[in-house]
Amino acid sequence: MSKLIMNRRGLLKTGAAVGAGMAMPTILTAASHAGYTNAPTNGTVTLGFNVPQTGPYADEGADELRAYMLAVKHLNGEGDGGMMNTFSSKELKGNGILGNKVEYVTGDTQTKSDAARASAQSMIQKDGAVMITGGSSSGVAIAVQGLCQEAGVIFMAGLTHSNDTTGKDKKANGFRHFFNGYMSAAALAPVLADMYGTDRTAYHLTADYTWGWTQQESIQAATEAKGWQTAANVLTPLTTTDFSSYVAPVLNSGADVLVLNHYGGNMINSLTSAVQFGLRDKMVNGKNFEIVVPLYSRLMASGAGENVKGIFGSTNWHWSLQDEASIAFVQSFGQEYGFPPSQAAHTVYCQTLLYADACERAGTHNPCGVAEALEGFKFSGLGNGDVEYRAEDHQCFKDVLVVKGKENPTSEFDLLEVVQVTPRAQVEYAVDHPMFAGGALGACNPGS
C-alpha cells in the first residue's frame, strides 16, 4: 500500500490539468460555450438555404436561391441594399448580422419531405447553419420545421400555403411570412361573389395532400358563407399528370364553377384540361361557367400559358405593385438577374432580412432570443403594407392580393394583374380558429 504525498508543485500541476480538462469542451465548441446550436465563429454566420434544385419545382427553387443570394449581398453591404432601404426597422447596417459576415450553404429539397429533412440535417450538422429557410411545398415545410425544432435552429419557411404549417403543425422555432389557404379564401370569396354572384355551385378538384385539403376546406367555407353551394370535392392524386378524366364529369355535375385546388404542375395540367374541355365557353344554370385557381404563382401562370387569361386567384405579392418597397426590390432583383422576381423570391428575401433584423434586435443568434424578437414584431416597408408576426402561431398577417390572368400581356412576365389588395383585417382569424386547431407551438428549443 502506498501513501499519497502531494507537494505544492504537484498540486499546481494537477489543478492545472483538471482545470484545462474541464474547460476543454467549451474551448473546442463555441456552440456549447454560447448555449445554442451552431453559434457563429470566426466572424462569420452560416445560413442554410434549403430549396428545390431538382424536381418539378426546380425553377421556383432557383428563383428563391437568387433572392437569397441577393439578400446575403445586401446584408453584407454589397449592391444597392434593396428593401433594406425601405424596411421600417433600421437595425440592419450592411455589416452582416451582429457584425458577422453572412455566408450560406444550399441544400436540395427535391420537393420530397425525406430529402428535405436530410439536406437540412446535413446543413445543420456538417455546415454549421444557424438558421434554415426555404422550400416550395407545405409537406416539405412541415417536415423541415419539425426537424429544426428538434435540432434547435430557427426555420424561416419559404413558399408554404397550407393552414397546417402555422396550424396543427406549428412549432416554436418556425416562422411563416407567406400567407395561407384561409387567407386566400378570405380575400378571394368576396371578389368571386361580386364578379360571379352569390347563386353559384362549385365543383372542387383538390390535390390529395395537406395543402390541398386545407385550401379546399378554406375556400369551400368562405364561398358557402357568401351563398355558394358545393357540388362535389374530388381528391386527385399528387402524381396525376392527365386530369381529363377528372375534368370530364364536371359539366354534367350541375356545377357552374370549377375550383382547382392545385399548385405547380398539377395546376398547369388541370387548368389546361379544363380549358380544353371548353368549360369556359359553356353556359350552365343560365350562367357562364367559371374557373378559379385559389393560389397563383407567376411561374405557374407561365406554364399554363394563355389558359390563365381572365381566371381569378390570389397571390402573396406581385412585382407590379407600386409601393416604394416593391419597386426597390424589383429594381434590385431585375438589375441583378434581368427579370422580375416571383412571389417565392419575395417571401424568402423578406424572411432573410426579418431573421437578420431579429438577431440584431435580440443581440444574439440564439434561436430563443431570435424567436422572442420575431414574436409580435410589427413592421412595414417589405412590400405588403403593415405586417405583424403573430406571437401565438408565428404566422405573418398582411394584405393579400387578389389577381386575375391578364387578357393582353405585354411581356412574358406580365401574366397576372392585381385586381384587389385585400386589407389585412379581412384575412385575419382567431388563434383558436377550428381550421388551425390541433397543435401547440411548444417551447423554443435553442439546441446545445
Partner 1 sequence: MDAILLQILNGIDKGSAYALIALGLTLIFGTLGVVNFAHGALFMVGAFVAVTVGKVLEISKITLDPTKTDFLGNPAKIKTPYVTEWFGDFGLWMIEWSVLVSVIVGIPIMILIGIIMERGLIKHFYNRPHADQILVTFGLAIVLQEVIKAVYGANPIPQSAPELLKGSVDFGVMVGMAENSVIYPLWRLVYFCFSAILIGGVFAFLRFTTFGMVVRAGMADRETVGLLGINIDKRFTIMFGVAAAVAGLAGVMYTPINPPNYHMGMDFLVLSFVVVVVGGMGSLPGAVAAGFLLGILESFASMPLIKDAIAAIGLPSIDQIIIYLVAVIVLLVRPRGLMGKAGMMED
- Residues binding partner 1 (CB under 8 A): 54-59, 208, 232, 234-235, 237, 239-242, 244-246, 248-249, 251-253, 265, 268-269, 272-273, 276-278, 281-282, 299, 302-307, 319-320, 330-331, 334-335, 339-340, 410-411, 413-414
Given the complex with partner 1, which of 125 and 241 has the nearer CB atom? Answer: 241
Q: In the complex, what is the shortest distance from the CB of residue 95 to partner 1, in angstroms, rounded to a whole number?
A: 29
* Smaller CB separation from partner 1, 221 or 327: 327
Q: Are 143 and 128 contacting, i.e. CB atoms less than 8 angstroms apart?
A: no
Dist. CA 416–CA 235, nearest whole Å: 27
Nearer to partner 1, 210 or 272 (CB): 272
CB of 349 to partner 1, least distance (A): 17
> Do the bridges between strand 400-405 and strand 416-422 make them parallel or antiparallel, or are there none, so unpaired?
antiparallel
Q: Which is nearer to partner 1, 56 or 77 (CB)?
A: 56
CB of 247 to partner 1, least distance (A): 9
Least distance (Å) from partner 1 to the CB of residue 269? 5
Q: How far is the CB of 48 from partner 1 (least distance, A)?
A: 22
Q: Across the strands, what pairs with 131?
A: 47, 154
Quick one: 69 or 277, whose CB is closer to partner 1? 277
In the complex, least distance from residue 145 CB atom to partner 1, rounded to whole angstroms: 24
* The three grid cell numbers given for residue 345, joined into one nine-digit string: 423570391
CB count within 10 Å of CB 304 equals: 22
Nearer to partner 1, 91 or 323 (CB): 323
The two most distant CA atoms of the chain are separated, in Å, by 107
CB of 406 to partner 1, least distance (A): 14
- By C-beta, is 89 or 261 nearer to partner 1? 261
Q: How far apart are CA 211 and CA 226, in angstroms?
A: 23
Burial 179-218 (b: 16+ CB within 10 A, else e): bbbbbbbbbbbbbbbeebeeebbbbbbbbebbbbbbbbbb
CA distances from 224 to 230, 281, 295, 317 (A): 8, 25, 18, 26
> What would the grid cell of residue 164 be?
397546417
In 222-288 the beta strands, taken as DSSP E runs, fall at 229-236, 257-261, 283-284, 287-288
Minimal distance in Å, beta carbon 281 to partner 1?
A: 7
Shortest spacing between CB 188 and partner 1, in angstroms: 24
Q: Tell me how far apart the alpha carbons of residues 74 and 98 are, in angstroms, rounded to a whole number.
A: 14
In our burial notation (b when 16+ CB lie closer than 10 A, e otherwise), range 91-108 reads: bbeeebbeebbbbbbbbb
Decide whether 251 or 421 has the Cβ nearer to partner 1: 251
Q: Which is nearer to partner 1, 62 or 118 (CB)?
A: 62
